Amino acid sequence: MSRTRTQVGIVGAGPAGLTLAHLLQREGVDTVVIEDRSQEYVEARIRAGVIEQGIVDLLVETGAGGRLESEGLVHHGIELQFAGERHRIPLSELAEGRAIVIYGQTELVKDLIRLRLASEQPLYFDVEHVTVDDLQTDHPLVRFHHDGEAHELACDVIAGCDGFHGICRPSIPAGVLSEFSREYAFGWLGILAAVAPSNDELVYAHHERGFALLSLRSPELSRLYIQCRPDEDLTAWPDGRIWEELQTRLGLDGWTLAEGPILEKGVTGMRSFVCEPMQYGRLFLAGDAAHIVPPTGAKGLNLALHDVQVLAAALVDWFRSGSTTGLDAYSETCLRRIWRAEHFSWWMTRMLHRAADEDAFDLKLQLSQLRYVTTSRAAATSLAENYVGLDSV
């Protein structure tokens, strides 16, 4: 068995784990990052693409945002569509100049992996049999196999950035965590299409047949979604049917949704989930390992990077001064933002989606809420502030 030591062992090489490693490396903190998937798989995962202003600023200021800054698409508004009309929410005008940037999570992960490899600090892909142990001691352990060899990594701290289905959260003893969750009776059928976006800004569409979203990944790639059952059979959705449904839900007189070859398609279920606290001994959870939001509010990636921003600052303070103040407050600090984002994402989801058990009364309530948001500056400001990311919560 290979036995090594590091200051922070990071389980998971998604955006949370890689960003944490990058922030700590800049401050001279040693880290080891392990990931049970291949590099090719991690770099190909299609995920979120809406990045808040504060996260953009963090990545640019720390040297991880060069390509994001040059290739990301800055958006100053979004559009809400309902009852055959579109209404623009001017995000930047309402949120003190803040905007969002469209930049695929896939591209961000590629950038972070490049930086990690350039740092020459350890990054292991395709690891197996990962366990975390001795979490309440001064030197918790990460054990794993890589290239047929057993490894034991002694750490000062372990960061669990391994997602909702990872091993870190389940390694915390039963009874320690309180878990809060909500399952939604619908999912999103998402496609990536080789066609220029049909609109300059994102369109969130409420329709009696269900929600639809017109998004994008680049000037040449469109990302579109339609509400469906969470257990939808993709074989029942040939390309022609997908485009027909998108045309129905997004269609407007005088406007055309451009169609093109569908490069990828998949169904994503929707849930809300939070565990409290986000720490146990020397194990700290971040990102999807600790919380999930429905994608309607575009908060998943942003929450994960807010978590590791807080965790990195607390760890650097601890290693330099010995103060545990930041680490002791990690859960409380992160959970304030998480619950705000959970509420916003739930609110957006309820306002825009049609559930099978809803009746005409529910439909009238949704339309009333949409009219209020699009005619009241106060209501639109609340949406805008949450969407671009609150400076403090």
- DSSP annotation of 354: -
Catalytic residue (one of 75, 206, 291, 306): 75
Catalytic residue (one of 103, 295, 306, 330): 295
Nearest-angstrom CA–CA distance, 102 and 222: 11
Catalytic residue (one of 22, 206, 299, 306): 299
The DSSP line for 232-263 is: --GGG--HHHHHHHHHHHH-BTTB------EE
Catalytic residue (one of 103, 204, 280, 330): 204
* Beta carbons within 8 Å of 375's beta carbon, 6+ residues apart: none
> Two tokens at 305?
């990077």
Burial class (CB in 10 A: 0-12, 13-18, 19+), 273: middle
Query: Among this protein's residues, is 41 annotated catalytic?
Result: no
Query: Among this protein's residues, is 139 annotated catalytic?
Result: no
Chain position carrying tokens 């009333």: 368
Query: Among this protein's residues, is 294 annotated catalytic?
Result: no
Query: Are 64 and 19 spatial neighbours (Cβ–Cβ below 8 Å)?
Result: yes
Residue 350: other Cβ atoms inside 10 A:
17
Q: SS3 for 275?
A: strand
C-alpha distances out from residue 11 to 8, 33, 168, 275, 338, Å: 10, 6, 8, 18, 21
Query: Among this protein's residues, is 295 annotated catalytic?
Result: yes
Query: Among this protein's residues, is 299 annotated catalytic?
Result: yes
Q: Which amino acid is at 116?
A: R
Residue positions annotated with a catalytic role:
75, 204, 295, 299, 387
